[in-house]
Each structure stands twice: as C-alpha cells, then as structure tokens.
Structure 1
Amino acid sequence: MNWDIIEGKWSQFKGEAQVKWGKLTNDDLDVIAGKQEKLVGRLQERYGYNKEKAEQAVEEWQSRLD
C-alpha cells in the first residue's frame, strides 16, 4: 500500500500500528500522524531499534496492509 494512503487514513491505521507495536502510546500515534519518518523515529525511541531496523519494520508492516 502506498504510504500516502496510510497517511491519509491514519486514524484507521493507527489501531493496527498500536497492535503491532504495543509500546507506542496514543500520544505517540497522534504525534506520528501518519508520517513515516516519525513512525521510524518513535520505533527507535521505544524499542531501541537502529534506523535501518526501524525502517525495515515499517516497510514490512506497510507491505502487510496491501
């Protein structure tokens, strides 16, 4: 799925993101607001991922939304 679609429908996808990454708070999801780079950054903060691992996790999640 194209990230622009995810961003545009973030309110629908943020619940799925929270299921996938339980350490993300509602406040985190509000701040992310569908922005891919913000999601990557929050995964780095909450899970201690390096940037590459966080980007890979986001890409895998994105591909499963198709």
Structure 2
Amino acid sequence: MTTFGVARAIGVPGPDYPVDAPRADRARRAHLNAVENLAVFAPLVLLQRSSMSARKQRCSPRRLT
C-alpha cells in the first residue's frame, strides 16, 4: 500500500499496474480459495448444528412439575 498507494490496494488493478510479488499473488489466491470453500462448508456446518440442537431437544428428559 505504501508503494503503489491506496487506490491500488482497494481498487481493481488495471493492465498498467506492476505485477505483485509471488508471495502476494499466492496469498490472494489462497484467500479466494478460502472464500470459495466457505460457501460450500458453512451451510453444511449450520445444517449439522441445527440437526444436533433438534435432536438434543427431542432427547432431553422432561420435568413433570
């Protein structure tokens, strides 16, 4: 950000911008992969958690008071 400025850091890079360092490119690709996988696994986790809570409510003993 200090090298190329704020616009480069938050904007869409154009063809005239210099190429990033390999580690920055790898970090960007890793971040995009993590976001992509989040869309797959988040609903599965939420479904599993809601299933566990529903099962817990069915199996809990009721008090007769």
Q: TM-score, normalised by structure 1?
A: 0.30
Find the structure with the greater CA-based Rg.
Answer: 2
Q: TM-score, normalised by structure 2?
A: 0.30
Higher relative contact order (CA 8 A, sep 6+): 1
